[in-house]
C-alpha cells in the first residue's frame, strides 16, 4: 500500500505538470512552463525512491538517472536549432520505449495484476513500442539517413494483417499467458509495425507524425501509470496524450487532410522530385534588384519555410528586417501551421534569432493582408503557398489552407532549385506574373540582400 504522503506529492507533481503544460501554450510563458514541468518531473522522480515497490537496486537507478541526465544535457547544449525536429523525434521515441520497457517487466509479473491492469499494460506496451520504432524512423528521415519513401504493393494490407496479429497476441497475453517467448513475439511485431507504418510517409508530413507519436507516448505512459498505480504518471501521461491528439488533429485540419490520409494513403512523391510545369516560365531576379524592391516597399511579409531551417538563415533574415525597418518598411512574418518539420518549427527558429512575437502572425491572422502587401518574401516554403490548393480541384493538395502570397503585388521566392514539395506537383506561384525566383542557399541570399540594402 502506497503511503498517503507519497500519493499527495504525486498529486502536487501532476498539478504542477498540468500548469506547466498550460504555460507552454503561449510563447510568452513557454520558458516558465518548461521549467515548471521539469520541477514536477524531478519531484515525482525523487519521491519514487520511497515508493514501496522500489526495493533495492537504488545504486543502479541513480546511475541510470545520472547517465541519462548527462547525455541529455550534452546533446541539448550541442544540438543546433535547425536539428531540433529530429531531437524531439528521438526523445519522444525514448519516452515511448521507456513506457514499453515498463510494460514488458510488468507483463512478466502476470499474476500480480488485475485483468484491467493487464489489459492497460498490453495497450501501453503496443502504443509505446509503435511510438518508439516509428519515432526512430522519423528521426532517420529528418536527419537525412533515410531519404527514400519505402512503398510496395500490398503494403497497407500487410500492415493490417500485422496489426491484427499483434492484437490477437495482446489478448492472449492479457487473458492468462505470460510466457516470455509470446511476449517477445508481441514486442517484436509491434516494433516492426511502427517501422512499416512510418517508412511510407514523406518528410513534409513529419510535423503531423511527430505530433501523433508524441500523443501515443503520452497515452502509453498514462496506461502504465494505471498498472503501477502511480497517479503522477496517469495524469501527466493522459494530459500529454490528449494535448498531442488535439495538436495532431489541428495540424491535419490545417492541411485539410484526414489523419488517415497522412498515415495510409501513400500520398505524394519522393521529396526533391521534379515535376513538369503546368505552363508558364519561372522568372529569375538577382539579389540587388530584390533588395531595391524591398527597400522601397511600404509593407513586406516574410514567409519562412523548411529552406530557411536547412540554410540556418534566420539570423541573417532578422538582420535584413532590421535594415528594412530603419528605412521605414513595415515587416511581418507569416507562419503556416505545418511549415517546417515539427509543430512550431518556424516559431522556434525565429525566436532563436530574437524576432519579437508581435511581428509573427498565424495564417488566419495575416492572410487578408497579402492583398495590400508590396513584397512577399518566401524562404524555402513550397506547398503552403501553392495557389493550386485554393482553386484547382484536380490538385492533390486542393482544399488545404494556404498563405495568399500570390495575391501580393510582388512575390520573391528564395529557393535552392526547382524541386517540388511533398505533393509532387509544380507550384503555380513560381510561374505567376508577379513572382520572381531568387535561386541559392537562403543564408547566402539573405547576406546578398543585406549588402544590397546597405548599398542604397
Name the 3-class secondary structure at 439. strand
The alpha carbon of residue 152 and the mean position of all alpha carbons in its chain are separated, in whole angstroms, by: 26
Active-site option among 383, 391, 406, 433: 383
C-alpha distances in Å from residue 59, one per residue of 53, 98, 206, 377 = 15, 19, 39, 56
Burial class (CB within 10 angstroms; exposed 0-12, middle 13-18, buried 19+) of 255: buried
CA distance 231 to 445: 53
User: How many Cβ atoms sit within 10 Å of the Cβ of residue 112?
Assistant: 9
Phi/psi of residue 262, nearest 5 degrees: -65, -40
Which DSSP string do the residues of 275-330 spell out, in sequence order?
A: ---SSS---B--HHHHHHHHHT-SEEEEEE-HHHHHHT-HHHHHHHHHHHHHTT-E
Name the 3-class secondary structure at 411. strand
The grid coordinates of residue 275 equal 515535376
Rounded to the nearest 5 degrees, what angle is found at the Cα of 435, between the Cα atoms of 267 and 324? 110
The grid coordinates of residue 98 equal 521507456
CA distance 156 to 162: 10
Around 424, how many Cα atoms within 13 Å sit in the side-chain half-sphere?
9
Phi/psi of residue 177, nearest 5 degrees: -105, 120
| Angle in degrees, 0-180, between the axes of helices 30-47 and 231-254, rounded to the nearest 10 | 150
For the chain, what's the residue count? 456
273, 437 contact by CB (below 8 A): no
Pick from 288, 249, 311, 260: nearest CA to 440: 311
Q: Is 383 a catalytic residue?
A: yes
Pick from 257, 249, 148: nearest CA to 198: 148
| H-run or E-run covering 379 | strand 375-379
- Residues involved in catalysis: 383
Amino acid at each position: 500500500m502506497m503511503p498517503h504522503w507519497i500519493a499527495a506529492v504525486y498529486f502536487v507533481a501532476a498539478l504542477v505538470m498540468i500548469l506547466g503544460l498550460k504555460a507552454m501554450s503561449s510563447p510568452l510563458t513557454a520558458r516558465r512552463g518548461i521549467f515548471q514541468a521539469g520541477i514536477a518531473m524531478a519531484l515525482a522522480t525523487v519521491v519514487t525512491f520511497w515508493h514501496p515497490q522500489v526495493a533495492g537496486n537504488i545504486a543502479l537507478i541513480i546511475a541510470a538517472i545520472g547517465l541519462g541526465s548527462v547525455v541529455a544535457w550534452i546533446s541539448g547544449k550541442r544540438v543546433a536549432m535547425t536539428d531540433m525536429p529530429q531531437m524531439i523525434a528521438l526523445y519522444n521515441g525514448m519516452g515511448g520505449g521507456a513506457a514499453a520497457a515498463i510494460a514488458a517487466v510488468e507483463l512478466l509479473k502476470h499474476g500480480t495484476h488485475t485483468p484491467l491492469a493487464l489489459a492497460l499494460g498490453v495497450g501501453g506496451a503496443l502504443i509505446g513500442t509503435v511510438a518508439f520504432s516509428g519515432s526512430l524512423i522519423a528521426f532517420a528521415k529528418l536527419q537525412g539517413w533515410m531519404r527514400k519513401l519505402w512503398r510496395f504493393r500490398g503494403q497497407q494490407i500487410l500492415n493490417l494483417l500485422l496489426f491484427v496479429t499483434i492484437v490477437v497476441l495482446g489478448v492472449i497475453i492479457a487473458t492468462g499467458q505470460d510466457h516470455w517467448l509470446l511476449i517477445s513475439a508481441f514486442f517484436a511485431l509491434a516494433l516492426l509495425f511502427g517501422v512499416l507504418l512510418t517508412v511510407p510517409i514523406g518528410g513534409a508530413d513529419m510535423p503531423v507524425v511527430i505530433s501523433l507519436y508524441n500523443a501515443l507516448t503520452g497515452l502509453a505512459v498514462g496506461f502504465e501509470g494505471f498498472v503501477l498505480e502511480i497517479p503522477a504518471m496517469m495524469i501527466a501521461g493522459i494530459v500529454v496524450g490528449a494535448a498531442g491528439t488535439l495538436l495532431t488533429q489541428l495540424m491535419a485540419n490545417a492541411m485539410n487532410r484526414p489523419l488517415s490520409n497522412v498515415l495510409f494513403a501513400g500520398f505524394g512523391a519522393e521529396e526533391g522530385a521534379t515535376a513538369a510545369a503546368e505552363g508558364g516560365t519561372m522568372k529569375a531576379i538577382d539579389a540587388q534588384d530584390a533588395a531595391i524592391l524591398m527597400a522601397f516597399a511600404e509593407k513586406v511579409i516574410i514567409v519562412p519555410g523548411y529552406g530557411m531551417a536547412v540554410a540556418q538563415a534566420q539570423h541573417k533574415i532578422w538582420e535584413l528586417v532590421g535594415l528594412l525597418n530603419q528605412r521605414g518598411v513595415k515587416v511581418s512574418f507569416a507562419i503556416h501551421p505545418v511549415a517546417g518539420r515539427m509543430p512550431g518549427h518556424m516559431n522556434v527558429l525565429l525566436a532563436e534569432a530574437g524576432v519579437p512575437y508581435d511581428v509573427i502572425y498565424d495564417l488566419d491572422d495575416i492572410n487578408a493582408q497579402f492583398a495590400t502587401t508590396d513584397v512577399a518574401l518566401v524562404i524555402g516554403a513550397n506547398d503552403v503557398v501553392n495557389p493550386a490548393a485554393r482553386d484547382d480541384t484536380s490538385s492533390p493538395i486542393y482544399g488545404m489552407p494556404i498563405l495568399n502570397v500570390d495575391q501580393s503585388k510582388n512575390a520573391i521566392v528564395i529557393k535552392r532549385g526547382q524541386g517540388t514539395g511533398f505533393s509532387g506537383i509544380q507550384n503555380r506561384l513560381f510561374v505567376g506574373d508577379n513572382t520572381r525566383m531568387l535561386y541559392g542557399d537562403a543564408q547566402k541570399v539573405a547576406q546578398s540582400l543585406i549588402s544590397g540594402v546597405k548599398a542604397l
